[in-house]
Structure 1
Amino acid sequence: MTKYTKKSELEIKARQLLTQRGVGLDDIAELVYYLQSKYHENLSMDICRHNVDRVLTKREVQNAILTGIQLDVLAEQKKLEQPLQKTIEIDEGLYGVDEVIALSIVNVYGSIGMTNFGYIDKQKPGILKKLNDKSSGEIHTFLDDIVGAIAAAASSRLAHSDAEDLADVDI
């Protein structure tokens, strides 16, 4: 696989599923900007988007996206056994498997991602507010945490970059 050009079947599917579920790269980039703008004076959406894009190239991230979205879809189709069906439908507060999958994404870029994830998971800005809204009839028990984790990981990636790295981003 050629670096930065050829995407694997897994990556293509993960990106397609995000889009099908109403989440665009820019939606996640806006979350990165939300998390990092006060720490980077000249932060642009292009830099945020680049970091999200790089996070999405990681196999662990792709696997988490596929697994979480599949569970959300199965719950929408009422194809899970009880009591798991109801637990995922209502996004039961004490059900932590959705966060555990999200943490597999966050851990790709170090411990700062965990604090970013906790913060954004509580604040629910942007697309996270929409995904967390239960009135649509769609189930995003896993997806909201996955999207928050991708943003937190991209923020960690950005935080670990120095100013020269940011200036050299090939956008």
Structure 2
Amino acid sequence: MKKIFLSIILTSQLWCAAYDPFLLETQLTLLPKIAMLEKNLVFSHPRSPVKLLIAYDREDEDAANLSAEILKRKFNGNLNNHPIIVTITPFDKLEGSASYHFVYSLKASVSQLKKLRNAVSPSGAITALYEADKLGESNMLLSIQMERTPVILINAKELRTNHYSLPDSLLEIARIIQ
């Protein structure tokens, strides 16, 4: 029993060293809801599923699985009355053939983020990333960083380039990154 408890503690400490659990949970709670505010999201049917992709580096597979579980638990299988389908895919397995509504990247290099953006670009997916400091150089649209409260970050270049249509009220409270 002590060995199991010790391994759980050590595993969670190693995982927590790589990811801030509070930030991850906050992002996974808020970012899909923000993505659903996009006025140009296309659903073939009012009850069509929302397709979410979590992209990750091979060494972060446990964090990707945990992120998928957080999404399923937080939204209880539904987001804005649409069932959710969560897919996790490593960066080296990304293909441009799949279509998603929302794409979230765990820790990644700028080249991996650009590959991700290029792979999902045809689907018009809302893109977000864990590492807010890479938002400007990554061609991703959203992130959240923690200050005294969560701060929504929006990449202005990505917003203009892809003609996203987010509500003015969101743009007023978010920090726009140039």
- State TM-score, norm by structure 1: 0.30
Higher relative contact order (CA 8 A, sep 6+): 1
- State TM-score, norm by structure 2: 0.29
More strand by share: 2
